[in-house]
Amino acid sequence: MSAAAPAAAAQAAIAAPDAARDFRIAFAIMTALLIAAPFVVYPVFLMQALCFALFACAFNLLIGYVGLLSFGHAMFMGFAGYIAAHLAKVGSIDFTLPLIGVGPHWRFGPLPPLVAIAAGVVCSALLGLLVGALAIRRQGIYFAMITLALAQMVYFFCLQAPFTHGEDGIQSVPRGKLLGIDLSVDLSMYFFVLAIFLTGFLLIYRIIHSPFGEVLKAIRENEARAVSLGYSVDRYKLAAFVLSAALSGLAGATKSLAMQNASLTDVHWSMSGEVVLMTLIGGLGTIFGPVVGAFVIIAMLQYLSPFGQWVTIMQGVIFVVCVLAFRRGVIGELAAVWRKSL
């Protein structure tokens, strides 16, 4: 019987590279498609879709791999978008108090795109730490409600703060230059966005397949048991929440540069709903699902826009069909058919 033990271990060692190979093939196909895409499809549309795809992947990290349903994720995307847009366009930090008119403020002028995006990511990570610390101890629907409530507060802040320009938003954000390459050319910007998307995507894959990710999965599967094994579950959840917030911020900051604007749409609660939809349609807890879901939803919004208000109803119908007919989402169903983990 002890001869069988090493055999089992060897089997485990074989099983892992198998899934890793599937991932590599799927990833190569996705990358190839995305490299070819801008020569066929309008790059600005693709950039938008890629940013939402990254956003959905970041959201999925939380719901799919930790089992936390955040209903306020738009706050991270939208807030980072404002920060990046403001720093890339104006470049100032101003804490002047409204009534007395004094307080620290600095003006340093427009920042290069990577710095502006990095600042957006840092801000959303800090926001994530704050929100997470308040919400993480709550379970299920209470967690969702607290994130929603806090997101509404961030929305209100973005509506009122001077630098966001309220209803107008921040328009004509310059994309700047990267290593001497002018990003105002759509195709150049597209490959910049693609690079960011792929980096974020691979990072999420790595998080899921790290020793840390293994504990997250254990928490998702049976939280009490994870506690009884000695894991401080709240700290793991908080770490995952901050990572998800930072990656959502990366998506939002990149999007505001790519689309050259930051507006209230991205911090609105309906955006938090949109990302739930993308993730569900693509496949909750699958690696590629959120990407597919984001492309489906963004394409719908784009190509069905002539129908105006009807789009919302069509989305609703698709959502219902999805939940009733293929609950695992597009990729989830494919993975089940092919018996692979995608």
Partner 1 sequence: MAGDIILRTQKLTREFKGFVAVEDVDLSIRRGTIHALIGPNGAGKTTCFNLLTKFLAPTRGQIFYKDRDITAAQPAAVARMGLVRSFQISAVFPHLTALENVRVALQRERGESFDFWRSRRVLAQWNDRAAALLDEVGLTEFAQTPAVNMPYGRKRALEIATTLALEPEMMLLDEPMAGMGHEDIDRVAALIKKIAAQRTILMVEHNLSVVANLSDRITVLTRGRILAEGDYATVSSDPRVQQAYMGSGH
**Interaction site with partner 1 (CB under 8 A):** 1-2, 4-6, 8-9, 11-13, 15-16, 203, 206-207, 209-215, 217-218, 221-222, 224-233, 235-236, 239, 243
Least CB distance to partner 1 at residue 54 (A): 17
Least CB distance to partner 1 at residue 17 (A): 9
Least CB distance to partner 1 at residue 297 (A): 27
Least CB distance to partner 1 at residue 57 (A): 14
Q: What are the backbone dihedrals phi and psi of residue 113, each rounded to the nearest 5 degrees, phi first?
A: -55, -45
CA distance 163 to 29: 41
Is residue 123 within 8 A of residue 154, CB to CB? The reply is no
Burial class (CB in 10 A: 0-12, 13-18, 19+), 223: middle
Our CB check for partner 1 shows the closer of 8 and 99 to be: 8
Q: In what helix (H) or strand (E) does residue 13 lie, and over which residues does it extend?
A: helix 4-36
Q: Which two tokens stand for residue 302?
A: 């784009």
Least CB distance to partner 1 at residue 1 (A): 6
Around Cβ 122, how many Cβ atoms within 10 Å? Answer: 15
Our CB check for partner 1 shows the closer of 76 and 205 to be: 205
- Write the DSSP string, 21-64: HHHHHHHHHHHHHHHHGGGTS-HHHHHHHHHHHHHHHHHHHHHH
